[in-house]
C-alpha cells in the first residue's frame, strides 16, 4: 500500500505531539527549526520536499505538545494543599458514586478571595448528588490525589487530565447553573436522559444510559465486571456506531421530508455536534464525532472521502489539545479498534465467504474477531485482563444494539412534542438493554471467560500469532 502525502504529514504531526509525552522541549528552538525546515522545503523538490515538511511538522508538534503539557501541569491550588476556604465550584460531569463518597469532575471558579479557573476532582459525602452543570457553594479542603494503590495511580491518571488536587467538602448548596456552551450541553444531556428515566428503571435504565450516554456509574459493579469479562464493556462507552446512527438518522429524516441532500449534511453536522456535547468529551466519542463531521464537510465541499486521513486528523485534534491523551486506555482502544476495522475486516470477510453465514452475522464476527485480537495487548497492559469470548458475546448482543440506540435517540427527539410516545420507545429500548445485560451475564459468567494470569496471556498470544500467520499465508495464496 503506497503512503499518501496527506497521511504521512498527519502521521508526522501525531508523532511529534506524542513525543512530548516522553520528552518535553518548551524552548522555541524546536519552533525555529520547524520554520527553517519549511523554508528549506520551499527550495527543494520531489521526495526531499515531503520529507522536510514532515520533519517540520514533527518538530512543530513536539514543541506544541511540550507547551500544552507544561500548561496542563500548572496549578494554583497545588500550593494550597492542606488549606480550606469557601469556594465556588462548577460540576462539569455526572458525579460517580461509591460506597463512601461521591466524586465528580469540576472546575473551581473561586477559592477564598482568589478568582481562578482550574479543573479539580470534587469529593462529596454520599447522599444526594449535584446535577451536572450545577454551580456549588461550599467550604472545601484542598487535598492531594492518592498515589499508587492496588495497581492504580490516581495521581498520575488525574495529572494526565490536567487535574492536580482533590477538593473535599462535607456540605454544599446549589447557587446556580453554568451557561454558555457547557450549559447548552447540560440541557441536551437532560433531554436525552428524561425519556430514558421514564421508560426504564433500575438495572435496565443503568445499562440504557451506559450504552446511549457512556455513563456506567449506575450499573452495578457485579454487572460491570461481567461486561468486562464477556468483552462487551465497549458497549458502555460511546463509540462510532452511536455517532453513525445519529448522523444517518438525521440524513434519513431530511430525505423523508424531501429536503435537498446538502441540507441533510448540515443537519447531520448539527446532530453530531449535539450528541457529542450531550455525551461529553471522551476520546472515543470525540474521535467518532470528528471523523463524522469531516465526512460531511468532504461531501459538502465535493472532495473525496478518505477514512484514514480523517482518522489521523482526529488523532491530531485530540493530541494537540492534550498530548497525554495518547496514554489513556480509551484513546488506545478506540484508535486501535478502528485501524483494525480498516485493515483486517476485509480479509477476514473474504475468508468467511465460503461458510454458510448471513452477511450481517459474518460482519459482526469479523469485526469482533479483529477488534478483540488487536485490543488484547492494550487490555492486558492497562487492565491485566483479556476477555476470550468476545466474538460469541458480540454476536449474541449485536441484534439489540442498533435498535436500542435508535429507539432511545428517537425518544429524545420526540419527548418535547409527544412525551407518551417517547416513554413507550424508551421502554422498548430498556428491554433491549435488559437483553444485552443478559448476554453479558451469560457469557461473562462462563468459566475462563477472561484470563488474568501472565502465563495464560503468553499462551493466548502464541496461539494468536500462529493463527494470524496461517490466515495471512492462506489469504496471500488465495
Across 41-45, 63-67, 116-120, 157-161, least confident range: 41-45
More confident of the two residues 200 and 244: 200
Strand, helix or coil at 385? Answer: coil
From residue 122, alpha-carbon distances to 104, 139, 329 in Å are 5, 12, 23
From residue 223, alpha-carbon distances to 114, 135, 233, 315, 378 in Å are 44, 33, 10, 32, 22
Q: Is the dihedral of CA 34, 40, 44, 48 positive or negative?
A: negative
| Burial class (CB within 10 angstroms; exposed 0-12, middle 13-18, buried 19+) of 157 | middle
pLDDT tens digits for range 163-207: 999 999 999 999 999 988 888 888 988 888 899 989 888 889 999
The domains of the chain, with CATH numbers, are 5-73 (no CATH), 77-178 (2.40.50)
Query: What span, in angstroms and rounded, lies between the C-alpha atoms of 86 and 109?
Result: 11
Query: What span, in angstroms and rounded, lies between the C-alpha atoms of 83 and 71?
Result: 24
pTM value is 0.85
b/e per residue 67-84 (b: at least 16 CB within 10 A): bbbeebeebebeebeeeb
pLDDT given for residue 1 in this prediction = 42
pLDDT given for residue 143 in this prediction = 93
Amino acid at each position: 500500500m503506497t503512503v499518501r502525502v496527506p497521511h504521512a504529514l498527519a502521521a508526522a504531526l501525531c508523532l511529534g505531539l506524542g513525543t512530548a509525552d516522553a520528552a518535553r522541549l518548551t524552548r522555541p528552538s524546536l519552533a525555529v527549526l520547524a520554520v527553517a525546515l519549511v523554508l528549506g522545503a520551499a527550495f527543494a523538490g520531489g521526495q526531499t520536499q515531503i520529507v522536510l515538511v514532515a520533519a517540520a511538522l514533527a518538530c512543530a508538534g513536539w514543541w506544541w505538545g511540550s507547551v500544552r503539557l507544561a500548561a496542563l501541569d500548572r496549578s494554583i491550588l497545588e500550593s494550597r494543599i492542606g488549606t480550606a476556604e469557601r469556594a465556588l465550584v462548577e460540576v462539569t460531569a455526572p458525579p460517580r458514586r461509591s460506597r463512601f463518597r461521591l466524586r465528580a469532575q469540576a472546575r473551581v471558579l473561586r477559592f477564598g478571595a482568589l478568582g481562578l479557573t482550574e479543573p479539580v476532582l470534587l469529593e462529596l459525602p454520599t447522599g444526594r448528588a449535584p446535577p451536572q452543570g450545577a454551580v456549588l457553594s461550599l467550604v472545601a479542603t484542598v487535598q492531594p490525589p492518592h498515589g499508587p494503590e492496588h495497581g492504580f495511580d490516581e495521581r498520575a491518571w488525574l495529572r494526565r487530565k490536567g487535574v492536580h488536587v482533590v477538593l473535599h467538602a462535607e456540605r454544599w448548596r446549589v447557587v446556580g447553573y453554568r451557561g454558555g456552551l457547557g450549559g447548552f450541553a447540560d440541557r441536551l444531556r437532560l433531554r436525552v436522559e428524561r425519556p430514558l428515566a421514564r421508560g426504564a428503571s433500575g438495572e435496565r435504565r443503568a445499562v440504557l444510559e451506559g450504552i446511549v450516554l457512556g455513563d456506567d456509574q449506575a450499573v452495578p459493579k457485579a454487572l460491570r465486571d461481567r461486561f468486562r469479562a464477556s468483552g462487551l464493556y465497549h458497549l458502555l462507552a460511546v463509540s462510532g456506531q452511536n455517532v453513525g446512527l445519529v448522523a444517518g438518522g438525521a440524513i434519513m429524516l431530511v430525505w423523508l421530508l424531501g429536503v435537498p441532500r446538502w441540507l441533510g449534511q448540515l443537519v447531520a453536522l448539527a446532530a453530531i455536534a449535539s450528541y457529542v456535547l450531550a455525551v461529553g468529551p471522551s476520546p472515543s466519542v470525540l474521535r467518532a464525532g470528528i471523523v463524522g463531521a469531516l465526512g460531511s464537510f468532504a461531501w459538502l465541499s465535493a472532495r473525496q472521502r478518505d477514512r484514514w486521513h480523517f482518522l489521523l486528523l482526529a488523532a491530531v485534534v485530540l493530541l494537540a489539545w492534550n498530548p497525554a491523551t495518547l496514554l489513556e486506555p480509551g484513546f488506545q482502544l478506540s484508535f486501535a479498534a478502528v485501524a483494525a476495522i480498516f485493515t483486517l475486516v476485509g480479509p477476514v470477510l473474504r475468508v468467511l465467504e465460503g461458510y454458510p453465514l448471513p452477511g450481517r452475522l459474518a460482519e459482526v464476527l469479523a469485526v469482533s474477531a479483529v477488534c478483540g485480537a488487536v485490543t488484547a495487548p492494550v487490555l492486558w497492559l492497562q487492565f491485566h485482563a483479556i476477555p476470550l469470548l468476545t466474538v460469541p458475546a458480540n454476536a449474541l448482543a449485536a441484534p439489540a444494539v442498533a435498535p436500542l440506540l435508535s429507539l432511545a435517540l428517537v425518544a429524545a427527539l420526540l419527548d418535547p412534542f409527544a412525551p407518551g410516545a417517547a416513554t413507550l420507545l424508551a421502554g422498548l429500548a430498556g428491554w433491549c438493554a435488559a437483553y444485552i445485560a443478559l448476554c453479558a451475564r451469560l457469557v461473562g459468567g462462563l468459566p475462563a471467560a477472561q484470563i488474568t494470569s501472565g502465563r495464560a496471556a503468553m499462551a493466548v498470544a502464541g496461539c494468536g500469532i500462529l493463527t494470524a500467520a496461517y490466515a495471512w499465508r492462506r489469504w496471500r495464496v488465495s
